[in-house]
Amino acid sequence: MQKENTITEVIQALLDADKAFPASLLYAFSDLEPRECQQLHDIWEQIPLQRRRALLEDLNEMAERDNLMLFEEVGRIALEDSDDQVKISAIDLLFEAADTRLLPRFLYLLSESGNNEVRAAAANALGPFVYLGEFDRIHSTLLKRVENALLKSYNEDESELVRRRALESLGYSSREEVPALLRAASARPEEGWLESALFAMGKSADEQWEDIVLSHLNDENLPVRLQAVHAAGELAIEEARATLLRALEREFDNTELRREAVWALSQIGGEGVEKAFERLLERLDDDEDIDLVEEAMDVLTFTEDKEIFSLMDLGLDEDLESSLDKESKFGLADEEEGWESRGYDPEEWAAYTSDEDYDLDLDDEEDIDDYGYEDDDEI
């Protein structure tokens, strides 16, 4: 069947409210051509609301399972939907796009949407752009605009969820205001704020947060503890190694903790980690867990090689060595790996920020005019 016929069949199926939408047609939404995008755009609001919601959910699930499925074009269309739940799903679908042409819409939704969950999702989606801006991957004026918008939301938004998401997205920022915000959030009595602070600290590549992260590695609250474990891995805190190794041995049945500890230890490396992974493999019988540990062992090899390399006297001046170290923590030491390689994990960020925090209270919102930046503002 020709692709043109396929999109025609897809549109007919979308508009047929009397029949269930065939799952086999979902693949046709991947990597749409401009003409197909226009056809879908023209009939989008005619699709029944529940079907639009279900379609976006299905496409997000497919994208998580198969990174070769590219649904960004559908996400761009759905981002203009009148329904808040569809908007949120569209933001999720566009999370890895890292396209500055999306910034005007994200910034608009952050400041103007009347729905807390939409604003929170927009704040979350701006995090990758802060990351890119720190390494000159987007124009400095765009970075400043994003950071200012996030700081404004953190300081002024009525929703705690939005403020927390704004703080998390500022984790990568080197703005002088950010450390004080993270420290204040970590000292608040609400555990949600502590989670957000630890999440952002892990993104910062800043050693000043090591003591706070270490102090929560055995926190009684599991979500807080998981964030601390992950942050310890992000920051490659060697002092966390013994605690995490004990967790693998003594708390094997805690699946979430075990998986986070495996990931963190693969980033930290050092004495005893490889042997601990080998013992762990002998105890596991779940294929997913086995694959996770085997992947961690591959990462560990890279981590250990990097440690050996760092011990060599290469005669680098201190400024260059510091720069390389920071880029390595952010995952940008090797240009070919791309911005998403190590420091920024879209799946991890999306999983953390799309959990049960959301409790939708949907209100329709009027469409807005499209607007954009000049070409030289793109990545």
Q: pTM of the prediction?
A: 0.80
Please check whether residue 205 lies inside any domain of the structure. Answer: no
Residue 30 lies in a domain: yes
Mean pLDDT over 142-153 rounds to 98
Residue 135 placed within a domain: no
Domain that holds residue 50: 1-93
Does the pLDDT at position 262 exceed 80? yes
- Number of domains within the chain: 1
Nearest-angstrom CA–CA distance, 41 and 74: 9
Looking at the domain assignment, is residue 223 inside a domain? Answer: no
Mean pLDDT of the chain: 86
Which region holds residue 136: left if phi is over 0, alpha if psi is between -120 and 50, else beta?
left
Name the residue with tokens 């796009």.
97
**pLDDT tens track for 286-340:** 999 999 999 999 999 988 776 665 555 455 555 555 555 545 444 444 433 443 3
Q: Write the CA distances from 207 to 49, 155, 232, 245, 378, integer angstroms.
A: 48, 25, 10, 21, 32
Residue 44, in any domain of the structure: yes
For every residue of 9-27, DSSP letters joined together read HHHHHHH-TTSPPPGGGGG
Q: Tens digits of per-residue pLDDT, 265-283? A: 999 999 999 999 999 999 9
| Residue 355 belongs to a domain | no
Residue 46 falls inside a structural domain: yes
Domain membership of residue 197 (yes or no) is: no
